[in-house]
Amino acid sequence: MTSQYIYSAVRITLAIVVPSVILAYFGVLKEYVLFPLGTSLIGFTDQPGPFIRRRNSLLFAVICFFFVALVATLIKDFPLLIYTEIIFFGMFFSLIGIYGQRLAAVGSLSLVVLGIFINGHLTGADIFLSLITFLAGCFWFFIVFLIVTKIQPYKLAGQMIGENYLDLADYLLIKAKFYEKDADIDALFSQVISQQIKIKNLQEETRETVFKTRTIVNESTTESRLLMLMFLNSIDLHEKLMTSESDYKKVQQRFGDTGFLLSVSKYLSLIAGELTSIGIAMQANAKAKPLRNIDEELQQLFEEYFDLRNQKLSADNLEDFMILRQIMVRIADISEEINAIYRIFSQDEKLAKSLSTGLDIKNFTPNQEKLNLKVLRNNLSLASSHFRHAIRITSALLIGYFISKLEFLGLGHSYWILITIIAIMRPAYSTTKDRNLLRLYGTLVGAVSAYIILFFIKDSTLLFTILLISMILCFSMLKWKYFWAVLFMTIYVFLTFNLLTPGNINVIFKDRILDTAIGGLVAFAVSYFVLPVWEHTQNLQLMQKAAKSNLEYFQVVMDSFKKENNDPNFYKLKRKNAIINLANLSDNFQRMISDPKNQQKKLETVHQFVNTSHLITAYTASLSQFSKTRNEYPEIDFETWNRKISAEIIKIISLLSTEGSQHDVTPEKTITPEDAVEILLENRKKEIEEHEISNRRDPARITHLTELSNIRTLLHLIDDVSKEQIKILEKLPPQISQQS
């Protein structure tokens, strides 16, 4: 209930309903129905982000909507001009998506306005009055936006940061399942990757909102600095959660029957609940309070670990217990991070004012195309995915409009065909296909539900209440639960038409389902046959970016073991790039699964590359936690490890190169790092065999040998996974991938 989705949905709903109630009170709602329609359409364009960007995009949307409505209304009786305007508006408003998601939303909704006004269904006899009413409704939401933002300037940022913590809680719950008995490691691994994509997308949106909002970055108020601190902490916590990556199959084999791993799972679920509480508190602008005593729970977990260690530790399983000990260290780190967050809430003024905002903000915000004609000209080519999408949208709208004019179909609300096409079609075929099915199912279920509601319920107050609830649920779920959003949208559309024209339910029922089916069929056919962009064509580029960013991330971590003074911003930038490029590659693979079977080129090979890329990033993140301690590890030959692994990743990049250049790693294969860890391990094993194990129970104490062993294990894991990637890519020549 505290989320930005519910909050935004309630705001849009009230902005629509309050004026509608006033108009209905005076008996003129039917004549001025374009007022709430304009309000709802402008409300859909309001994307999360900095105030200035939101304000400018809303103003631009008002201008575009009015202009499109004016042109469509003036030429509605001239068929040839109508097809011309579809081509012009279809291409222009689809192409402005090159400037980012915000303008893409304005473009899509402008085409919806075109669909509504194209035949003059809602304008009535007085065209001038209708257009002014529509314009007033658009401006009304803009005024509501300005008022709400002025009253609560930090509300959106707090909600989005809170959403980050809620997503991290879900991520931790997935991690907890790895320690359950008989865990499906491969299935859970897929869930981890999907959650990584979700976290990455939200972090990018939140970065823009927090970093590009001047008041939050520069104001010295406690609240603004607290928000910045909490967001930066969420990013660091995300890395700590990534560092908890282990060889789960091996851990399960060694300790699955002891019952200890189940205790680990329960504890991780417990602190995931704490993260959920923190996220909700951030969204509600309240101080978070611990649900449980984390320190006591962690102490109990450590006691269980020490009992297991004293009973089972031997020379044979020493290295296994070192891995388990490192898992406990990571859990303790995450717990300390959560305790630090609670301390921020309890002493926010002192800690928040000590926050340095010395980040190079421009390096940490998403890149957006500048609004210039050169960018637009560069995309006027079939090589541009945006241009191809614009052609598909325009073609579908032309076909949809032609079908809507076929009199023998008897369509009463033919503009729903055009709206369906615009709502469904996306640049990627896979996304269009998924939205097509979800919209069809949502419309069917919603139409049947609305029909039942109107058949059995006659009380106007109850119907109005259902209408309000349906609107709120629709607006809140539109971005993340499309089926449910369409279902509730269909219900509130039916109830709205019933309020305006009672007793017309049968006609609406038939038209809504028929128009949605026609629009969906057109969208599907055009997406499949007209200049489609298949996901496999993006594989090579995204794989290259993921490999290059993994190399840079690994090298900056290795450099930190050698340098005394490291630039934390440079490290964070490389970490950000690695996580973003990994998530983009994973997202591409997920969409590829929905492409037609004949377009799923080398699906299994790409899947293996995605999984191994995730492991390299996660293991590198785990390695980075050691470098941050500033300890020296002279027993490990970092220089040789760096040369060896870097050469292998460079080999991966060269295999992905379209130029056909190959990097020879044969010299590096013969290199053997001169680590002294093995000797220390052998000495420790002898001690265990000859002496009784000491019953030390200090959770804060971790031996230098354990750290050395885990560092070496991580380096071996990164080395092994890199070699595995080379084998994978040798099965997938880049030229073949590119041509396919």
The verdict on 640 and 566 lying in the same domain is yes
Tell me how many domains the chain contains. 4
Checking if the pLDDT of 738 tops 50, the result is: no
The verdict on 613 and 725 lying in the same domain is yes
Q: Give me the mean pLDDT over the 667-684 stretch.
A: 72
Q: Write out the two tokens for 11.
A: 């705001």
Choosing from 128, 151, 174, the residue where a domain stops is 151
- Give the structural domain span for 716: 536-692+699-739
Q: Is residue 162 part of a domain?
A: yes
The verdict on 201 and 274 lying in the same domain is yes
Q: Is residue 384 part of a domain?
A: no
The pLDDT value recorded for residue 101 is 83
Checking if the pLDDT of 627 tops 80, the result is: no
Choosing from 477, 511, 533, the residue where a domain stops is 533
Domain with residue 722: its CATH number is 1.20.58
Checking if the pLDDT of 737 tops 70, the result is: no
Q: Is residue 57 part of a domain?
A: yes
Choosing from 484, 513, 533, the residue where a domain stops is 533
The verdict on 178 and 327 lying in the same domain is yes
Q: Give me the mean pLDDT over the 209-234 stretch.
A: 72
Distance CA 149, CA 157 (A): 11
Q: Is residue 706 part of a domain?
A: yes
The verdict on 439 and 329 lying in the same domain is no
Checking if the pLDDT of 356 tops 70, the result is: no
Residue 225 CB: number of other CB atoms within 10 A? 22
Distance CA 643, CA 291 (A): 47
Q: Is residue 378 part of a domain?
A: no
The pLDDT value recorded for residue 629 is 54
C-alpha torsion sign, points 74, 80, 86, 92: negative
The verdict on 140 and 183 lying in the same domain is no
The verdict on 472 and 495 lying in the same domain is yes
Could you tell me if 620 and 577 are in contact, meaning their C-beta atoms sit under 8 angstroms apart? no
Grouping H, G, I as helix, E, B as strand and the rest as coil, residue 585 is: helix
C-alpha torsion sign, points 253, 256, 257, 258: positive
The verdict on 471 and 355 lying in the same domain is no
Q: Is residue 647 part of a domain?
A: yes
Percent pLDDT > 70 in the chain is: 88
The verdict on 204 and 294 lying in the same domain is yes
Q: Is residue 374 part of a domain?
A: no
The pLDDT value recorded for residue 216 is 60
Least Cα distance to 316 among 675, 676, 684, 680 occurs for 684
Distance CA 348, CA 282 (A): 13
The verdict on 556 and 519 lying in the same domain is no
Grouping H, G, I as helix, E, B as strand and the rest as coil, residue 619 is: helix
Checking if the pLDDT of 355 tops 90, the result is: no
The verdict on 179 and 268 lying in the same domain is yes
Tokens 């909600």 found at = 159
- Using one digit for the tens of pLDDT, what is the confidence trace for 520-577? 999 999 988 888 878 888 888 899 999 999 999 999 988 888 776 667 778 888 888 8
Q: Is residue 397 part of a domain?
A: no
- Using one digit for the tens of pLDDT, what is the confidence trace for 370-390? 567 777 788 888 878 889 999
The verdict on 545 and 525 lying in the same domain is no
Could you tell me if 482 and 435 are in contact, meaning their C-beta atoms sit under 8 angstroms apart? yes
Tokens 């290199």 found at = 671
The pLDDT value recorded for residue 254 is 85
Which residue type, as a one-letter code, is found at position 524? Answer: F
- Listed in sequence order, the DSSP H helices in 501-535 are 505-529
Q: Give me the mean pLDDT over the 616-626 stretch.
A: 85
Distance CA 148, CA 12 (A): 11
The pLDDT value recorded for residue 734 is 47
Least Cα distance to 376 among 107, 41, 52 occurs for 107
Distance CA 197, CA 213 (A): 24
Least Cα distance to 323 among 260, 417, 378 occurs for 260
Task: Find the helix or strand (DSSP H, E) in which 348 lies.
Answer: helix 348-353
3-state helix, strand, coil in the chain (%, to 5): 75, 0, 25
